[in-house]
Amino acid sequence: MPGRDPQRGAERIRKAIALVNSVADEAGDEEITPTEIAEAIRDCLELSDVDAVPNVRRYLGEALDAVSDGMPADFVAMTLYAALGALREGT
């Protein structure tokens, strides 16, 4: 696929994972809202890389749904790790 950069997709997913992990670890002075987490996941969904590899879009969608449903940050992070793993396997 022309213009496809799997590293860019992986980097965006890693940033979303870091954001979710900071919530799970209760690190930092400022509170990170579910809206900010959802936006980070939506940023991942905007990349064409997620359509090039099976299951990546599905895992990202599940992570977004989990945020909307108020699931714990650990659950959201694990779903994002699954998306990252699927992306790595597909490249």
pLDDT tens across the length of the chain (91 residues): 445 666 888 999 999 999 999 887 765 546 889 999 999 999 999 998 788 888 999 999 999 999 999 999 999 999 999 999 999 888 6
pLDDT of residue 28: 58
pLDDT of residue 2: 43
pLDDT of residue 14: 96
Residue 2: inside a domain: no
Residue 56: inside a domain: yes
Residue 73: inside a domain: yes
pLDDT of residue 58: 96
Residue 20: inside a domain: yes
Residue 3: inside a domain: no
Phi, psi of 15 (to 5 degrees): -65, -40
Residue 76: inside a domain: yes
Residue 31: inside a domain: yes
Cβ(23)–Cβ(43) below 8 Å: no
Phi, psi of 46 (to 5 degrees): -75, -20
Residue 10: inside a domain: no
pLDDT of residue 23: 84
Q: How many domains are there within the chain?
A: 1
The alpha carbons of the chain give a radius of gyration, in whole angstroms, of: 13
pTM recorded for the entire structure? 0.86
Q: Give the domain range for residue 61.
A: 15-89
